[in-house]
Amino acid sequence: MPFLYSIEEHKKDKHKYAMITGFDEKASDLVVPAEIDGYTVEAIGNHAFSGRQDLISVSLPGTVKTLYGFAFHNCRKLKKIALFDSIDDYYDGVCRQCDSLKEVEITMIRGWYEVVRNFLADNDRTLRFILNLQTDPGTEAEPPVRSVLTFPEYVYDFNENTMARTIQFSIAGSGMFYRECVDRRSIDYRQYDRLFEKAVIDGGEISENIAIDRLLYPVELSDDFRKTYEEHVRANAESILRRLVEQYPDEPENLGTVKALLTYNNDDPDKEVLPGRAIDEAIKLSADKGFAQMSAVLMEAGRTLAEDQMFKL
């Protein structure tokens, strides 16, 4: 097996387990096993995968309890990490300088959100969390409820006051405020939603992504904030569809997002979040780029919308 590992003894109960210390081959999508040679894999060692430029995604089993320092440090192409909330110890710099890291997927078995806090503390960039929430804590119910939350980036800004001989600092961006919504045992969804006006000020696609994910995965979403997110998506529909279409070759999951937005509130056409003009523009763009599957999905939605409008007349 290409995994490098050592056998460790637990300090408390003296049981032996495997700690991954490296991987002896190239890999783009790395899946760490739950067991090696009869030993349960419970830890990823210091600098185990540090500096690897081949890793794009990493999947860790629910047996892993410890992520040691700089385990994935400087993996510049790493885009996604999938793991469980089994992590009890998260050491400094696990994903530091992972400049491409965008998505962390966590299967929540214990309801232990400390691992979310740890990833956020380790990274000041925008991170999107896919949280698979068990409907009955302590069991592996199928399928779990999914919550998808984007946490914006933030920047520390340092300014030197030469007259006062002091260094003053400020925080730019809404990311630090969003990070305060997470504690060890829960996420304050109400506070998360209340911060949306700050994300809108940040501008760009971040506020659009927050609104889309809250509408499509509405865990603890109140009617008032639902309307706020709907209005934001509706107002930015052309920008959203243009981006989803243009990024489609590199992010094929965008097709599913487009489908979900097109069928959002399908039972009430007056509340649809993608106006016809935005769909028409997206159809033209997708056709020009030769995206056959995306075009088919958009054209079907366009036909349905036109039929609904004719029926009203």
Residue 157's CB is within 10 A of a number of other CB atoms, namely 11
Q: What is the pLDDT of residue 139?
A: 54
Q: Residues 209-225: what's their mean pLDDT?
A: 97
pTM: predicted TM-score of the whole model, two decimal places: 0.90
Q: Are 151 and 120 in contact (CB under 8 A)?
A: yes
pLDDT in tens, 271-309: 789 999 999 999 999 999 999 999 999 999 877 655 554
CATH of domain 3-238: 3.80.10.10
Distance, in Å, from the CA atom of 126 to the CA atom of 176, rounded to the nearest integer, reads 11
Q: How confident is the model at residue 148 (pLDDT cuts 50, 70, 90)?
A: very high
Tokens 């107002």, residue located: 235
Domain ranges of the chain: 3-238, 239-313
Distance, in Å, from the CA atom of 209 to the CA atom of 1, rounded to the nearest integer, reads 40
The pLDDT of residue 158 is above 60: no
Q: How confident is the model at residue 267 (pLDDT cuts 50, 70, 90)?
A: low
For the ranges 152-156, 161-165, 206-210, 304-308, the one whose mean pLDDT is highest: 206-210
Q: Are 133 and 110 in contact (CB under 8 A)?
A: no
70: left (phi over 0), alpha (psi -120 to 50) or beta: left
The pLDDT of residue 312 is above 60: no
The pLDDT of residue 61 is above 60: yes
2-16, 37-51, 83-97, 158-172: least confidently modelled range:
158-172
Distance, in Å, from the CA atom of 10 to the CA atom of 63, rounded to the nearest integer, reads 14
Q: What is the pLDDT of residue 136?
A: 60
pLDDT in tens, 2-38: 999 999 999 889 999 999 999 999 999 999 999 999 9
Give the single-character DSSP code of 222: -
51: left (phi over 0), alpha (psi -120 to 50) or beta: left
